[in-house]
Every structure is written in structure tokens, then in C-alpha cells.
């Protein structure tokens, strides 16, 4: 991946007192944290905690009520094109009549514009990204005819085609097969080598503890932010998940069976308890 020239800055992504929400209700309240270059961040929290709201705010899909987001020290509007976003599968209309190649090519529109034909260089990037995610053989198939795992790979290829500095992935491991999960993890390893900053929301606390540098624990407010062994303490988990936790022999087990207002699904997983 050929990354665009980036300014020197101690933090690639900074949020300062960020609040955002829907219809008069705040889903995020005064969130402040900074992500250094190339870090892999797991965003954790109960259903409806504001994880998807955070990602939508980071790509400008949801206006801020207050606060500021900076990328490379500049405000979001000045650097929005270098942030790629892979939404939850439930948020995509898979009936839209486009092929796999069409979807991946959309990742180039930030550079080419919507009306200009992709150049040979753009087409080469699209081809390379489809190859990387194992969907090149499906290039002419309608996106709606693919399996859930294949659709996820296509959207990851689209994000790669954008050549982002920051990649946001909202629940990429939910509802996909084991091979797609492994391909996603391998992609995260490659992006680490290229110093691409990655934020991934997940309900798998064990995965977050094992495969991520930093954990961002949310429940509308920032409960804890730091290395996994610092965040996954009993008091932090209980503050975020309330009565939905159980400590067994020093291991915190989280089980959330009731969906919130924002993000459907369940929290499954465990993390070592401390304190």
C-alpha cells in the first residue's frame, strides 16, 4: 500500500471532549483520547454504548454536538479522505445492483471523484486489493449474491483501495466464517507493518486482550483507555457492563442478552480479571 505523505505528529487521531448522538439523545458524552501512529485499538462496550456512533462521528457521518476530532493535528474536515470505514453488515443494502469490482472501485472515489473514470493506476489498486482479500475471482458477481463472509471481504478490499491512514471496522467478526475472521486478522497484521492506525469494535473481550495494543472501553462515556491489562480490570468491566458480569476464579465473564438502542447483538467473551 502506498500511503500518502503524512505530517509528523505524536498522535494520528485525537478526540477532545467529543459528544454526539441522535434525536436529542447523546450516545457519546465528552470522550477524550489519543491514538498514536500505527496502533491497533479494540473498541469495547455493551450494546448501545456508542461504539457505532463513535465510528460515524470519525468519518463525518454524524455531526458532533461538541468537542473536536483531529487527524495529524488538523480538524476532521481537512483529513477526512484518509479515514476508511467498514460498517456493520446490517447497515448495508445488499440489494443494490453493483458488482464486487464496482464496490471495491468506490474506495478510489475520494481521489478520482464520482464522475471521473478510474485511471489504469486506480484499476491496478482495485485489482491488488481484491487479490489481497481473496475476492478477485468474484469481481463480476453482484454483491447481493455473495455469502456474508465474502461480502465482508469485499468491503475490506474497498477500504484498502482507499489507501487509508486510519481504518475503522465496526463488528467485522460478527456473522462471518472462520476463514474470513482469520483473513481479517491477517489483514490487521499487514496494516500494523505499514503503520496504519486501526480501530475495531468487537464483543470478543478475549480477542481484544490478545490481539490489540490498546482497548477503548465505552459506555456513553469513556470508562477506561489503555493497554489491555490496564483496562480489563474488574472495576472497569463492572462499570461498563453493570450487572452483566460474573467473576469466576479471577476471570471476568461478560454476557449481554438484551439489545440496546443502537447496536444489535450480544457480548460474548472473557478477559482476565485484575484487582
The grid cell for 265 is 447483538
Identify whether 8 is part of a domain.
no
Q: Considering its fold, how many domains does the chain have in total? A: 1
d(CA 11, CA 5): 15
Rounded CA separation 103/144 (Å): 11
In a domain, 2, yes or no: no
Q: What is the pLDDT along the chain (275 residues), one digit of tens a residue?
A: 333 333 444 458 999 999 999 888 899 999 999 998 899 999 999 988 999 999 999 988 899 999 999 988 888 776 656 889 999 887 887 778 899 999 999 998 876 665 678 889 999 999 999 999 999 999 999 999 999 889 999 999 999 999 999 999 999 988 888 888 888 898 899 898 888 999 999 988 889 999 999 999 999 999 999 999 999 998 999 899 886 555 444 455 566 554 444 443 334 454 544 33
> Which CATH number does the domain housing residue 62 bear?
3.40.50.300
Q: Taking the complete model, does pTM exceed 0.85, yes or no? A: no
By residue range, what is the domain housing residue 77? 13-272
Residue 4 domain-assigned (yes or no): no
- Count how many residues are written for the chain: 275
151 lies in some domain: yes
7 domain residue, yes or no: no
Q: Is residue 138 part of a domain?
A: yes
Amino acid at each position: 500500500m502506498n500511503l500518502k505523505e503524512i505530517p509528523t505528529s505524536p498522535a494520528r487521531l485525537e478526540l477532545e471532549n467529543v459528544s454526539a448522538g441522535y434525536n436529542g439523545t447523546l450516545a457519546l458524552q465528552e470522550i477524550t483520547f489519543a491514538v498514536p501512529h500505527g496502533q491497533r485499538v479494540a473498541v469495547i462496550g455493551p450494546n448501545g454504548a456508542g461504539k457505532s456512533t463513535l465510528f460515524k462521528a470519525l468519518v463525518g457521518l454524524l455531526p458532533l454536538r461538541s468537542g473536536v476530532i483531529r487527524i495529524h493535528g488538523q480538524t476532521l474536515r481537512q483529513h477526512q479522505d484518509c479515514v476508511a470505514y467498514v460498517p456493520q453488515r446490517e447497515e448495508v443494502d445488499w440489494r443494490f445492483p453493483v458488482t464486487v469490482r464496482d464496490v471495491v472501485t468506490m474506495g478510489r472515489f475520494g481521489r478520482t471523484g464520482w464522475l471521473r473514470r478510474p485511471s489504469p493506476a486506480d484499476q491496478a489498486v482495485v485489482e491488488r486489493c481484491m487479490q489481497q482479500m481473496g475476492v478477485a475471482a468474484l469481481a463480476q458477481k453482484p454483491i447481493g449474491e455473495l455469502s456474508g463472509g465474502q461480502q465482508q471481504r469485499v468491503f475490506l478490499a474497498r477500504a484498502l483501495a482507499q489507501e487509508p491512514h486510519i481504518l475503522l471496522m465496526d463488528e467485522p467478526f460478527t456473522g462471518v466464517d472462520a476463514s474470513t475472521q482469520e483473513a481479517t486478522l491477517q489483514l490487521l497484521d499487514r496494516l500494523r507493518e505499514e503503520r496504519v492506525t486501526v480501530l475495531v469494535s468487537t464483543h470478543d473481550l478475549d480477542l481484544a486482550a490478545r490481539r490489540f495494543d490498546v482497548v477503548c472501553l465505552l459506555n456513553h462515556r469513556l470508562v477506561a483507555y489503555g493497554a489491555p491489562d490496564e483496562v480489563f480490570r474488574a472495576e472497569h468491566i463492572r462499570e461498563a457492563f453493570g450487572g452483566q458480569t460474573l467473576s469466576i476464579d479471577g476471570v471476568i465473564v461478560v454476557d449481554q442478552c438484551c439489545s440496546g438502542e443502537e447496536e444489535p447483538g450480544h457480548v460474548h467473551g472473557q478477559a482476565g480479571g485484575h484487582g
